């Protein structure tokens, strides 16, 4: 078991991600996981603040993937699949994956994933995956249009520990699958639950906007886009669907 006996729990922490990154730099074992009941300085992608009050599930874990340098996107995607399958099993809701790192249900984001990595020369030295899942926590008014919690969407109060354990079980399964080279199987599953394949999108990357239609997921987890200028491969970015 990847996470057995390696869970470090806090009532409150600035950010599980920051803490886990320190542990990664100290070389703590693979699977070490940091979870906090609340975060005072949770952060999302693009340095956005991540609201993390009591009632949500906020955690980060360490991986040292060997020979997977070119497949960092797949680590985010297996994390998304793990949370998705756990939600389907425990809460009976049907999330979709908004590539590369979000889960959405009925037009609302319920989960965000932040994958960060350290490199030694050209090799991946460590990966920290941070998962933020809105479970029973209130959503602040300014985010209510775009974000939702599992309890509000299901109409039930959810037992966080049960959901958490199921996510960890799923992560064990999917990470083993990735290490065993079963990427095709993983990608087929991501496509099955994809919110974006076949859709017109506007993607914001770190330096430009690209408009096009999502045609596929590449073997390394990147997005294949058909644009006015031809085919493009996008490794990371923020997707806006064009309706
Ligand atoms: C995003 O959608 O922008 C990613 C959000 C990731 C939030 C999680 S909560 C646990 C971990 N600690 C953090 O500070 N961030 C991640």
In order along its 243 residues, the chain shows pLDDT tens digits of 898 889 999 999 999 999 999 999 999 999 999 999 999 999 999 889 999 999 999 999 999 988 766 678 899 999 999 999 999 999 989 999 999 899 999 999 999 999 999 988 878 889 999 999 999 999 999 999 999 999 999 999 999 999 999 999 999 999 999 999 999 999 999 999 999 999 999 999 888 899 999 999 988 888 999 999 999 999 888 899 886
Mutate to test the pocket of ligand 1, among 12, 14, 17 (most ligand atoms within 8 A of CB): 17
User: Is 65 in contact with 76 (CB distance < 8 Å)?
Assistant: no
Secondary structure (3-state) at 53: coil
Binding pocket residue ranges, ligand 1, CB within 6 Å: 15-17, 39, 42-45, 48, 50, 52, 58-60, 101-102, 112-114, 130-132
Secondary structure (3-state) at 54: coil
The pLDDT value given to residue 4: 81
Query: End-to-end CA distance of the chain, in Å?
Result: 43
Closest CA to 196 of 226, 228, 170, 220: 226
| Ligand 1 midpoint to CA 73 (Å) | 16
| Ligand 1 midpoint to CA 110 (Å) | 12
Strand segments, DSSP code E, in the chain are 7-13, 33-39, 57-63, 96-98, 102-105, 108-120, 123-133, 200-204, 209-217, 223-227, 230-234, 238-241
Mutate to test the pocket of ligand 1, among 132, 148, 239 (most ligand atoms within 8 A of CB): 132
User: Is 62 in contact with 128 (CB distance < 8 Å)?
Assistant: yes
Rounded Cα distance between 141 and 187, Å, is 35
From atom 14 of ligand 1, which residue's Cα is the shortest distance away?
42
């Amino acid at each position: 078991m990847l996470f057995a006996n390696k869970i470090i729990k806090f009532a409150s922490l600035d950010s599980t991600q920051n803490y886990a990154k320190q542990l990664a730099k100290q070389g703590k074992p693979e699977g070490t996981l940091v979870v906090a009941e609340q975060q005072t300085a949770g952060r999302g992608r693009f340095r956005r603040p991540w609201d993390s009050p009591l009632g949500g599930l906020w955690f980060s874990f360490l991986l040292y993937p060997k020979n997977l340098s070119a497949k960092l996107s797949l680590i985010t995607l297996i994390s998304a699949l793990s949370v998705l399958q756990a939600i389907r099993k425990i809460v009976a809701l049907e999330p979709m994956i908004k590539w590369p790192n979000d889960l959405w249900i009925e037009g609302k984001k319920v989960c965000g994933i932040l994958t960060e990595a350290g490199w030694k020369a050209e090799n991946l030295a460590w990966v920290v995956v941070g998962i933020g899942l809105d479970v029973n926590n209130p959503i602040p008014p300014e985010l209510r249009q775009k974000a939702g919690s599992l309890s509000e969407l299901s109409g039930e109060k959810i037992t966080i520990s049960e959901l958490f354990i199921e996510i960890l079980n799923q992560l064990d399964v999917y990470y083993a699958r990735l290490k065993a080279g079963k990427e095709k199987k993983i990608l087929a599953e991501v496509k099955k639950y994809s919110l974006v394949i076949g859709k017109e999108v506007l993607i914001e990357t770190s330096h430009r906007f690209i408009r096009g239609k999502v045609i596929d997921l590449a073997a390394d987890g990147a997005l294949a886009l058909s644009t006015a200028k031809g085919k493009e491969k996008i490794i990371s970015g923020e997707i806006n669907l064009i309706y």
